[in-house]
Structure 1
Amino acid sequence: MLTSYLKIAWRNLWKHKLFSVINVFGLASGLVVCFLAIAHIKGSFDYDNFHPNRGRTYRILTDVVGKDNDITPFATSPMPLAATLKRDYSFVEEAARVAKTYAEFSSNQKRFTTVSYAVDPGFFRIFGYKLAKGRPATEPNTVVLTRETAEKFFGTANPVGQVLQNTELGQFTVTGVLADMPIKSHLVFDMLFSLQTPWNPQQRASFADWRNYQTGLTYVLLKPGTTADALKQVLPSVVGRATRNLHFKTEKGYSLRVQPFTKLSPSRQELMRATNEPQIGGLLVEAGVGLLTLLLAAFNYINLTLARSLSRAREVGIRKVAGAVRWQLVGQFMAESVILSLLALGLANVMLEFIKPMVFVQKWLIGGVVWNWQLTAIFVVFSVIAGLLAGVIPARILSGFQPSQVLRSQTGLRVIRGISLRKSLIVAQFAISMIAMIALLSMSRQMNYMATADYGFQRDRVLTIPLNTIPAQRLANEINQLAGVEQVSATSELFGSYGYDHTVKRERNGLDSSTAFVWASDPQFIATMNLTLLAGQNLPPATADSVASGGSRLVLINEEAAKTFRLGNSREAVGKSLWLNDSTEVQVAGVLKDFRFTSFAWSIKPLIIQNNPAQFRYLTVGVAAGNEDAVLADTKRIWKRLSPYEPFTGQWYTDFLQQRHTHPEDMDFTTLLLVLSFSIACLGLLGMVTYNTQTRVKEVGVRKILGAQVSQIVWLLSRDFVRLLLIAAAIAMPLGYLAGYAFLSNFAYHVSLGLETFALCFGSLLVLGGLTIGIRTYRAALDNPTESLRAE
């Protein structure tokens, strides 16, 4: 019987090739998006499974209770906790601290900012990060590198025994190179260096402070046979003893809890200071997008199957008269669905091979995912289930026809008065696609706005050059001599990037601290970037004393900083003092007019600019109009002479902002999803229009003989479908507005959802839908009526 079902199903699919192709392509498009989501979800559960002691390893989380009794969970915990647990409790086999830093290291005439973790020696005993060469970094001032970082600094040479230099922590000896991780880890880093390295007194005090729960992660390895309950029971007493006499400034206190390493990824809770494990909410969104795309394809199958319901009803009637029962008819229709889903599975795998190399897909979805037989089995089972679910509605409806219904002209499928189920599904398809288009267009316009908007500083004809190991002054002197160069200055950050904030106070021991961005630049920077000085004077030139003491004591601030720290207006703020990180007193030399120097997601933040040559990382070169190409070529020659082994990576400021904010790889993938959704919807519409014209071919022939024009016939055949497109647009516009606004509300400065956005989306919907309808109906209207009426 099963063989008979499959043969008949195959013959039906082959007989109606257009509908079969539409269904296979639609299901394949939905499946490929679902496959990407499935692969990412599976990969998120595989994070860190190469560590040998996962079942006995735990991370300690901190639940901080605020003054308003709100609880904020942190992935970090107090730094003294690891040593206390290992020393006082015999069931703890090992405990280790992990502190994340963004540090700049230099070696071999190269300098890079790295993502680093300072780790205890126990880290290498808890985790299974294997070394390709050398030994772990367990002694002070030792470091192990990833393979990519080792190649950046030393090329193909053996890095073991080489020295890296850090301005704050001194020299580090490379003791080993880490092997490539077989899969992804929640810790993403360029290097691991020893936490035993001598730190400055302020940092050491921070590490010993039980009130400081935001600096480091704590991992605990329990002895075999010990349950997590033993660790849970001792944490309250540890916190009680450690914090009994401590005073907290902004919170009431905190408690500690245990997170099993096996449940670390995906993260079930949004944590502050989190690591790189996927969030369960993001995975659910991905799954939702995949299922929504698949649902659009399922709509096609339901639509086209029910559209042919009259011809299938006759088939059902004959089978029932011949003695078939309902479950046998359901089996026949479900067999067709399974064959379609298996064909779609094959096409989806072909499409997946073309999508896999996309940057966004590799970086955010399937990078590091192990493609094994288990994942393949999941894909096959998912495809069969998707096919069965897509076919269940048509199967139940069609198998329920009675033989007496065969001669009726309609199947009576209604959702609401005047709108059939098939029409409702078409409206849903195009409404969902248009909502996605409005959201995507809003995202694209916002990214373009962030890349091209007026930031309040000079962005045209400004060349930015990462310094690496070349002294800023030496390179500036060389470039200053070039024809066409107007200004040359040095800075620690580029405007338009995120930067790092610092704690700033009016009084050293005051409680009125706030955060501000502290950037370093020289006196020429104001003129190069065309900033406006409202009051006071520019930064003074650097002196030997200011360099030795970590920067000039005279600083520039923006208007927002004067307001935040209550320094009065611009003139009143000049001459007043501020304290940076409780250790450095600076005096306001001048006040700059506010400008946008960070992400558009934030409103303008307090900014402090200090002349500190030790922090200079970029050179900015103002170029006269018409001299851009010549200056760029001459600068490259100077760079080649001063740093022959380091490639020139300078770029124009406009290009930097474009790359920083447009995220082309994200937009490419989102556009792909939009194209797939519209393709599915248009193909479904094409199938419906095709079937509609086929059932009305004799009517068209009679009307043409009676004198109807081609345009009249086209309108007759297409007006119902155009009406459906208008209904879809009416539904999608308000929902699309909400979707676009939800995205734009994340930015302090954003574009507006104007009429142009909706006009473009509405126009695209009408063009795509109109072409789909018009081409098919126009061909039907041109058919010779003698062909359709010959049998009459």
Structure 2
Amino acid sequence: MFRNYVVIAFRNLWKHKLFSFINIVGLASGIMVCLLALIDIKGAFDYGNFHPNADRTYRILTDVTSNDNQTAAFATTPLPLADGLKREYGFVEKTTRVIREYAEFTVDQKKLGDYYCAVDPGFFTILGYKLATGQPATEPHTAVLTPQTAEKFFGLSNPIGKVIHTKEFGSITITGVFKELPTRSHLRFGLVISMPTLLTENRKQLQTDWKQYTNGYTYVLLKKGATVAQLEKVLPTIAARATKDIRFKSEKGYTFRAQSMTRLSPSREDLEMGTWEQTWGKLATEMAVGLLTLLLAVFNYVNLTLARSLSRAREVGIRKVSGAVRWQLMGQFMSESVVLSLFALGVAYLLLMLIEPMPFVQQWLIGGVKLNTKLWAVFVGFSVLTGLLAGFVPARVLSGFRPAQVLRSQTGLKVFKGITLRKSLIVAQFAIALIAMIALVSMARQQHYMATADYGFRSERILNIPLNNVPYQRLANELNRIPGVERVSATSELFGSHGGDLRRVRRQKSGGDSVVAFTTAIDPHFIDNMDLTLLAGQNLPEMAADTIGEGSLGRFVLVNEEAVKAFRMGNPREVVGQSLWLNDSTEVQIAGVIKDFRFTTFNWPIKPLILKYQPKRFRYANVRIAEGTTDATLAGVQRVWKSLNPREPFAGEWYSDFLYKRHSHEDDVNFMGLLTALAFSIACLGLLGMVTYTTETRVKEVGIRKVMGAEVRQIIWLLSWDFVKLLLIAGAIAIPLGYLAGMAFLINFAYHVSIGFETLGGCIGLLLGLGGLTIGFRTYRAALSNPADSLRSE
């Protein structure tokens, strides 16, 4: 019997090729998005499965209670906790700490930035990071590299025994290289350095400081036979003892709890200072998007199957008269749906291979996840389930027809007040697709706005050159000799990005309220070079910066208007000459006040900013090039760079290009555009099938009307109007919901675009355009048909 079901299913699919094509392509698009989500879900559960003894390894979390009784969970802990657990409790076998930070490393006179983890010796055994070559980094000033960092730092040569340099820790010797990880890890880093390397003077106090709970992560390996209940029992006692004499400013205190490594990913809660594990919310969102796309395709299948209900109803009537029972008829229809869904799975896999190279897909969805037999079994099972669910409603409806109903043609299925289910599904399809498009357009417009907006400083014809260990003043002297270079300045941070270093600033050395401000190092030429406006006071003093130390110029700073407001200093003129204290140790004098400009991302409103002369922090040279001389001047700049640093490739970048790349997020927008295009494609394919079927059932009506003198345009309007009404209804439903969806994204930005006619009108126009083309294509062909052909059988 099952074999007969399959044979008949193939015959029906082949007989109705257009409808089969529409259903297969639609289901394949939805299944492809679901496959991406399933792959990422598998990857989330695979996180860290290379850790040995994961069942008795725990990460300690810190639950912090604020003064207003709000509790926040931190993935980090105070650094002394690990030693205390190992020293005082016999059920603890080993502990290790991990401190994750970013630093610049000098390798063969090249400055390369990367994230590093400072770790205890137990890191290599507790967490199971294996080495391909060399030895673990356990001695002071030693490090182990990942394969990617080893290649970035040293190319294809053997890195073991070679030395890298950092400003804070000095020289570090490479002792080993990690193996490639079999799966993704919740810790991501370019290299691991030994914890004793961090024992510099300014870091020693952190090793015994119980007040700072955000510095590092603590992992505990319990002895065999020990239980997590033993660990959980002592953690509150440790926290109470450690915080007994501590006076917090904004917290009441904290306590600890254990998180099993087997439950690290997917994360069941959002942790402050969290690592890279997946969260249930992200996975649920991905799966919801996939199921929503698949739902649109299922709508198509239900729609087109019910549209052909009259011809299938006659089949049902004949088979029932022959003795078939309802469950047999349902089995037949659902087997057709399953066969079609399995075809769609094959097409979905081909689509998956097509989009796999997309950066967004590689980074977030299928990076590092391998397809295996178990995953394929899940895919096939999911596809079969999709086919069964998609076919259930049509099978239930069609198998319920009675022969008497068929003869009276009473096969129309009503939802309410004469609106058919088929029309409702078309409206739902286009409404969902339009909501997604409005949200996407709002996102894309915001990204473009941030990438091209006026930040308040000059970005056109400004060339940013990373210094990479080249003395700034020497480079500036050479560049100023090039015809076409108008001015050269230096900065520690490119504005329009992260904003610079955060420091706590006070008006008095001790006491009084402090303000967190961004601090950026600049030279005296920066203000004029970037067209910043000085509202009061004067620029940093014009001195021969190359002949003096930081001390002369470094005692003067410039502040922005927001800093004046934050310190409640009055108007900008009253501020000039007043003093500020940076980190309670450095007194500076305000030389001038500059007009506010956007130096961070658009997520935040303008923050307090302090500009200070600090040559040791300079990382970029800003070269202003005269209009009309771009190509010739750029060639000269490259020659100068080559002469000063022949080993390092020229990495200059136009400021406008930097802002565009930083904020456009093209990969994200392209991927969201792909999903929206799939939704519209599925909806349009479904509409095409419905219009095709409707025009075929009205072909004799069209013939009669043409014989009676109806014009082509009148027939097109007659056939199209019912479907145009559905598009208008979908638009009316989608506009308010799409507006809310777009605003839910835009509200995260302090400065954002509005959702007006240009967004809503454009999306509605595209909806009507695509829908109109789909409808017009089929109705125009039907209107041009020869009446003699359609009326020949009458």
- TM-score higher than 0.5 here? yes
Distance 1:545 1:88, change over 3 A: farther
Question: Following the alignment from structure 1 to structure 2, what is the Cα–Cα distance between the partners of residues 186 and 546?
Answer: 47
TM alignment of 1:197-216, pairs within 5 A: 197-216=197-216
Quote the residue 2:475 is aligned against.
475
Return the offset for 1:433.
0.6
Return the offset for 1:579.
2.6
Q: Percent identity?
A: 63
Quote the residue 1:705 is aligned against.
707
Return the offset for 1:297.
0.2
For 2:433, the aligned partner's letter is S
Cα deviation digits, residues 45-89 of structure 1 (max 9, x gap): 101111112122111111110110010111111111011001111
Question: Following the alignment from structure 2 to structure 1, what is the Cα–Cα distance between the partners of residues 431 and 651?
Answer: 46
Quote the residue 2:47 is aligned against.
47
Task: Indicate if the aligned counterparts of 1:490 and 1:525 stay in contact, CA closer than 8 A.
Answer: yes
Question: Following the alignment from structure 1 to structure 2, what is the Cα–Cα distance between the partners of residues 523 and 550?
Answer: 12
Question: Following the alignment from structure 1 to structure 2, what is the Cα–Cα distance between the partners of residues 27 and 756?
Answer: 32
1:514 aligns with 2:543: no
Quote the residue 2:447 is aligned against.
447
For 1:41, the aligned partner's letter is I
- Residue among 619, 623, 626 paired with 2:625: 623
Question: Following the alignment from structure 2 to structure 1, what is the Cα–Cα distance between the partners of residues 77 and 511?
Answer: 26
Question: Following the alignment from structure 2 to structure 1, what is the Cα–Cα distance between the partners of residues 738 and 171?
Answer: 56
Return the offset for 1:735.
0.4
For 1:330, the aligned partner's letter is M
Question: Following the alignment from structure 1 to structure 2, what is the Cα–Cα distance between the partners of residues 12 and 784?
Answer: 28
Distance 1:380 1:83, change over 3 A: same
For 1:504, the aligned partner's letter is V
Return the offset for 1:640.
1.9
Cα deviation digits, residues 534-571 of structure 1 (max 9, x gap): 12222245879985779812211111111112222212
Quote the residue 2:60 is aligned against.
60
Question: Following the alignment from structure 2 to structure 1, what is the Cα–Cα distance between the partners of residues 513 and 532?
Answer: 29
TM alignment of 1:259-658, pairs within 5 A: 259-498=259-498, 499-510=500-511, 512-540=513-541, 541=543, 547=549, 552-658=554-660
SS in 2 for 1:398: helix
SS in 2 for 1:566: coil
Quote the residue 2:780 is aligned against.
778
Task: Indicate if the aligned counterparts of 1:183 and 1:370 stay in contact, CA closer than 8 A.
Answer: no
Question: Following the alignment from structure 2 to structure 1, what is the Cα–Cα distance between the partners of residues 552 and 372?
Answer: 55
Question: Following the alignment from structure 2 to structure 1, what is the Cα–Cα distance between the partners of residues 709 and 521?
Answer: 82
TM alignment of 1:201-280, pairs within 5 A: 201-280=201-280
TM alignment of 1:124-135, pairs within 5 A: 124-135=124-135
Question: Following the alignment from structure 1 to structure 2, what is the Cα–Cα distance between the partners of residues 605 and 67?
Answer: 25
Quote the residue 1:746 is aligned against.
748
Question: Following the alignment from structure 2 to structure 1, what is the Cα–Cα distance between the partners of residues 420 and 548?
Answer: 79
Return the offset for 1:240.
1.3
SS in 1 for 2:554: coil
Task: Indicate if the aligned counterparts of 1:713 and 1:781 stay in contact, CA closer than 8 A.
Answer: yes
Return the offset for 1:746.
0.6
Quote the residue 1:674 is aligned against.
676
Question: Following the alignment from structure 2 to structure 1, what is the Cα–Cα distance between the partners of residues 484 and 547?
Answer: 34
For 1:618, the aligned partner's letter is Y
- Residue among 753, 769, 777 paired with 1:767: 769
Distance 1:689 1:555, change over 3 A: same
For 1:282, the aligned partner's letter is K
SS in 1 for 2:181: coil
Quote the residue 1:717 is aligned against.
719
Question: Following the alignment from structure 1 to structure 2, what is the Cα–Cα distance between the partners of residues 583 and 278?
Answer: 41
Task: Indicate if the aligned counterparts of 2:536 and 2:592 stay in contact, CA closer than 8 A.
Answer: yes
Task: Indicate if the aligned counterparts of 2:473 and 2:546 stay in contact, CA closer than 8 A.
Answer: no
Task: Indicate if the aligned counterparts of 2:505 and 2:580 stay in contact, CA closer than 8 A.
Answer: yes
Question: Following the alignment from structure 1 to structure 2, what is the Cα–Cα distance between the partners of residues 510 and 260?
Answer: 43
Return the offset for 1:491.
0.7
Question: Following the alignment from structure 1 to structure 2, what is the Cα–Cα distance between the partners of residues 584 and 399?
Answer: 84
Cα deviation digits, residues 166-190 of structure 1 (max 9, x gap): 1122111111122221211111111
Question: Following the alignment from structure 1 to structure 2, what is the Cα–Cα distance between the partners of residues 24 and 482?
Answer: 63
Question: Following the alignment from structure 1 to structure 2, what is the Cα–Cα distance between the partners of residues 459 and 427?
Answer: 47
Task: Name the stretch that deviates more: 254-263 or 493-502.
Answer: 493-502
Task: Name the stretch that deviates more: 535-544 or 649-658.
Answer: 535-544
For 1:472, the aligned partner's letter is Y
For 2:274, the aligned partner's letter is A
Distance 1:762 1:592, change over 3 A: same
Number of aligned residue pairs: 792
Question: Following the alignment from structure 1 to structure 2, what is the Cα–Cα distance between the partners of residues 604 and 546?
Answer: 33
Quote the residue 1:189 is aligned against.
189
For 1:348, the aligned partner's letter is A
SS in 2 for 1:631: helix
Cα deviation digits, residues 753-792 of structure 1 (max 9, x gap): 1111111101100110000000100001111011111111
Quote the residue 1:663 is aligned against.
665
Question: TM-score by structure 1 length?
Answer: 0.98
Question: Following the alignment from structure 1 to structure 2, what is the Cα–Cα distance between the partners of residues 293 and 550?
Answer: 64
SS in 1 for 2:408: coil
Task: Indicate if the aligned counterparts of 2:313 and 2:398 stay in contact, CA closer than 8 A.
Answer: yes
- Residue among 676, 685, 688 paired with 1:686: 688
Question: Following the alignment from structure 1 to structure 2, what is the Cα–Cα distance between the partners of residues 79 and 551?
Answer: 38
Distance 1:638 1:188, change over 3 A: same
Task: Indicate if the aligned counterparts of 1:567 and 1:576 stay in contact, CA closer than 8 A.
Answer: no
The alignment's C-alpha RMSD in Å is 1.5
For 1:730, the aligned partner's letter is A
